[in-house]
Structure 1
């Protein structure tokens, strides 16, 4: 890397008042000079952006003259009299900074956008491909999580926030954004950017349109205008009710979680430890509410007349290991050991893959939530006649006979007042099991833990 720093100075009117030789030569080749407006369009836009935001920005600079293509990193520090420029890693020809891949127009063939943000996730560049939806107005300086409505992954996390803490690459960050024709679903991919001194300065990446199915979920629902824009007067049995709840709650909750995790992670600078903990509690509560939204959507779906589950060929041993992989970290936080089926423990069955995994995640999540620290959870697969079975057993406080009679009822939380769940998980899990021609049962006794067994049609 070329460590030489090339400096320049711009006054408040955009005039180049001083410049080291390489920058001055480039200015002259563009038909200008000292004491004249900056004639390099890309650099002039970055200077204007830094002055408008009233803060330092560090960005890649791409320009060219009759002699060569030039790639560099520029740091712009605005002040009351103009702005100072520090340009590093000045390269000519096709060579590009190894840590900052250029996203060419060919990367936008799926009708996407390219974007750049600083180390505080404030957007400093946004452009659309020729066949993509136009970018929204007023994006300059807005938070990435405000411009793009971040959606959590299956574990309730946000890849972009995790990458921010690690200053690493991320992909698969699902988002929604405002397009000219309404809401659009997209997927963000980003690469970290570093200045000449190796200091993290932000991300640069692409936003690609999601598949048509995801677009349909993001699009506003057709139909008559409702009295209440969020819920209206739709009955609970109407399929649009669950979708409107999901649309009205998921977006705001996702923004709350993203903001709280940003504060908790102290990405914008250090804060008091108790404030960081408060923000962490807010993020935790937000994820709990998102789980409730998921439960309500599932409840509305499974109680719809004619609901059916797919008949996939599955392996309960494989699904058990997948569930452990998704929730293993939560168990480790409590010192809980999970004894899962071995790789060669196979149990062929028939059921809808994602629904069976959903049931197992609910059972394992409950076992982790209500097990004491430093205890153990067992997951076993077995077969009895034409039934394939998987059992999740814990060392928790157990469930007495009276409670076992109601544990699968709707909104039943066995008298608990904590924020551990909605009281819908086991009800939904049993309904799903029976929709797949199976069942979900429990065996327990006070002080002896609980054993939940999912049975499904076996497959030879």
Structure 2
């Protein structure tokens, strides 16, 4: 029942007087029952703390149930009758001291000889045990690893799109050329929402593989920028998130909100750094993306899947191409995903709650065309070219981005022999049209 919420109540005397079945079973496994003092020490401590301070307390805890450990997210909210509990997560794993047999879904996180990694909900690395780890924190997962197709397709992309477990995905660490095999398990927060991935990288024997041709390295400015800012910003974000989550104990609500604002600003700055580094790469004279046969509709479905959670939080529906649709084009798969994530992400940002976004693919005059259409406020004809300029935001509602996303997307499309155009008018939504050579 991983991710489900179970509710309960502790009275003012510390007794568990109400509990849904999972919480009741946990209480009973600790040797107690309904109407008796709560016997799970971690939850009992949180209930007492919430009641004493008169504030909501929430944090991750590990509780024992039989021979297993449970990773839980617990919220304890005081009221006149005691403390209301909501307990989520319910990720079961063998206890560190438990039996070695049986299913062990978290074994890969404790294996010797490998290193661990973890991402946040936007698939940016939050911790990693590899060499040069400091420079990797804060970067997108796909920028750290180049995934290797061993002949059965890149299953990891489907797993990432659907927030599913994956294992056995071969990859190359871009900065070192080291070959690894990746396994990952999705993380859920206390409300059952996707919170990222945690996984392991198993080193493969042999010499480091030579990755497929990559974009030329960024120039010295980009390298210095990343080295100087990415590590410190990542540390600021991590500390601010810990404070905001009150992992070290309860604090005033406004202080927690300030900490969350700091973390959000830090993530924004990391995104700007990523855009600037991309800018340095694509503006080099020797920048050449790969040219290979790709299925534009399949990539559109993957990109839509990556943004599905963000869209669903506002009731926005992304209507991707049907599973049986195919449109072959020539381009760089990774760069096309980057372009479509930007276009669909913009559509989500500018669409009203409950709106729809449509992705439509067709062949036109020896071109493979993918249209991203939204129900947002639209763009005046006079601004159709300006939206593709560097550092341009047409309206204050465009947010605090770098203003580079569409510029980079169009440069990438043109480098692959394609283009991006816009068709829009105020009040009529926007249609961004990606075209690539037909395969």
- TM interval, shorter chain, is 0.5 to 0.7
On the 8 A contact 1:152/1:254 being kept in 2, the answer is no
d(CA) in 2 for partners of 1:260, 1:400: 40
On the 8 A contact 1:340/1:378 being kept in 2, the answer is yes
Q: Indicate yes or no: 2:306 matched with 1:326.
A: yes
1:184-195 equivalences in 2 (<5 Å): none
Q: Which runs of 5+ in 2 are unaligned?
A: 1-28, 31-61, 70-94, 118-128, 144-164, 169-177, 186-197, 211-216
- Alignment correspondent of 1:302: 282
Q: Indicate yes or no: 2:421 matched with 1:441.
A: yes
The Cα offsets for residues 377-430 of structure 1, whole Å up to 9 and x where unpaired, read as 111111112100001111111111111131111111114376441111111111
CA RMSD in angstroms, aligned pairs only? 4.7
On the 8 A contact 2:135/2:226 being kept in 1, the answer is no
d(CA) in 1 for partners of 2:180, 2:331: 31
Tell me the secondary structure at the aligned position of residue 345 of structure 1: coil
Q: Indicate yes or no: 2:379 matched with 1:399.
A: yes
On the 8 A contact 1:379/1:391 being kept in 2, the answer is yes
Q: Which runs of 5+ in 1 are unaligned?
A: 5-57, 59-70, 74-88, 116-127, 134-144, 157-168, 173-183, 192-203, 215-236
On the 8 A contact 1:96/1:102 being kept in 2, the answer is no
The Cα offsets for residues 286-320 of structure 1, whole Å up to 9 and x where unpaired, read as 22211111111111001101211101211111111
- Alignment correspondent of 1:340: 320
- Alignment correspondent of 2:438: 458
Normalised TM-score (structure 1): 0.53
How far the C-alpha of 1:282 sits from its partner, in A, is 2.2
d(CA) in 2 for partners of 1:385, 1:148: 44
d(CA) in 1 for partners of 2:278, 2:395: 23
d(CA) in 2 for partners of 1:452, 1:155: 24
- Alignment correspondent of 2:272: 292
Say which of 331, 334, 337 aligns to 1:354.
Answer: 334
d(CA) in 2 for partners of 1:380, 1:388: 11
Normalised TM-score (structure 2): 0.55
Q: Which has the larger radius of gyration?
A: 1
The Cα offsets for residues 148-201 of structure 1, whole Å up to 9 and x where unpaired, read as 974454499xxxxxxxxxxxx9999xxxxxxxxxxx99999999xxxxxxxxxx
- Comparing both chains, which one has the higher relative contact order based on Cα–Cα distances under 8 Å and sequence gaps of 6 or more? 2
Q: Indicate yes or no: 2:252 matched with 1:275.
A: no
How far the C-alpha of 1:269 sits from its partner, in A, is 3.3
How far the C-alpha of 1:266 sits from its partner, in A, is 3.0
Residues 360, 384 of structure 1: alpha-carbon distance in 2 compared, 3 angstrom cutoff: same
Q: Indicate yes or no: 2:239 matched with 1:259.
A: yes
d(CA) in 1 for partners of 2:234, 2:180: 15
d(CA) in 1 for partners of 2:424, 2:327: 24
The Cα offsets for residues 197-240 of structure 1, whole Å up to 9 and x where unpaired, read as xxxxxxx99786799689xxxxxxxxxxxxxxxxxxxxxx9812
Tell me the secondary structure at the aligned position of residue 379 of structure 1: strand
How far the C-alpha of 1:329 sits from its partner, in A, is 1.1
On the 8 A contact 2:319/2:358 being kept in 1, the answer is yes
Residues 418, 282 of structure 1: alpha-carbon distance in 2 compared, 3 angstrom cutoff: farther
d(CA) in 2 for partners of 1:449, 1:335: 17
Residues 350, 374 of structure 1: alpha-carbon distance in 2 compared, 3 angstrom cutoff: same
On the 8 A contact 1:155/1:326 being kept in 2, the answer is no
Tell me the secondary structure at the aligned position of residue 392 of structure 1: strand
Residues 188, 260 of structure 1: alpha-carbon distance in 2 compared, 3 angstrom cutoff: farther
Q: Indicate yes or no: 2:368 matched with 1:388.
A: yes
Residues 301, 152 of structure 1: alpha-carbon distance in 2 compared, 3 angstrom cutoff: closer
Q: How many residues align?
A: 293
Residues 185, 261 of structure 1: alpha-carbon distance in 2 compared, 3 angstrom cutoff: farther
d(CA) in 1 for partners of 2:438, 2:140: 31
